[in-house]
Amino acid sequence: MTLLAFAITYSGFFLLRLAASSYPTLSFTQKPPVERQVSLRLFGALLLALSCGLSVSAFGWALGSIFWPVLLTPMAIAVVLLPLYAPRAAVMLAVASPAFALAAELVSMI
């Protein structure tokens, strides 16, 4: 559950970043059009809300509400730094990590 929380927080911030600026690797040479911005923001916010829910269900309200904000910080920093040095890997991570974490979660449930 924790791994999944990490993964979707990163992906959520990544979508928010896509909405805010250009991303040449994805052939977004300029800021996306407004409708795309809105949907990216919505999806990003949705993932962050989901990570909040995951934190609370993993640690309970008391600890989860402390865990979630301090989880946001390093993931947001990763979304700032990673695209600067490894733009492709940053995209891959945003797509693959939630899938991987979800798979790991399912495997551990079995």
Provide the binding-site residues for another protein, judged by CB under 8 A: 2, 13, 16-17, 20-21, 62-63, 66-67, 69-74, 76-77, 79-81, 84
34 vs 110, which CB is nearer to another protein?
34
CB of 78 to another protein, least distance (A): 10
Min dist. Cβ of residue 94 to another protein (A)? 13
Compare residues 44 and 110 and give the one whose CB is closer to another protein: 44
Closest distance of CB 46 from another protein, Å: 17
Name the maximum alpha-carbon separation found in the chain. Answer: 45
- Concatenating the DSSP letter of every residue in the chain gives -HHHHHHHHHHHHHHHHHHHS-BGGGTB-SPPPHHHHHHHHHHHHHHHHHHHHHHHHHHHHHHHHHHHHHHHHHHHHHHHHHHHH-HHHHHHHHHHHHHHHHHHHHHHH-
In angstroms, what is the minimal distance from the CB of 92 to another protein?
A: 18
Nearer to another protein, 2 or 43 (CB): 2
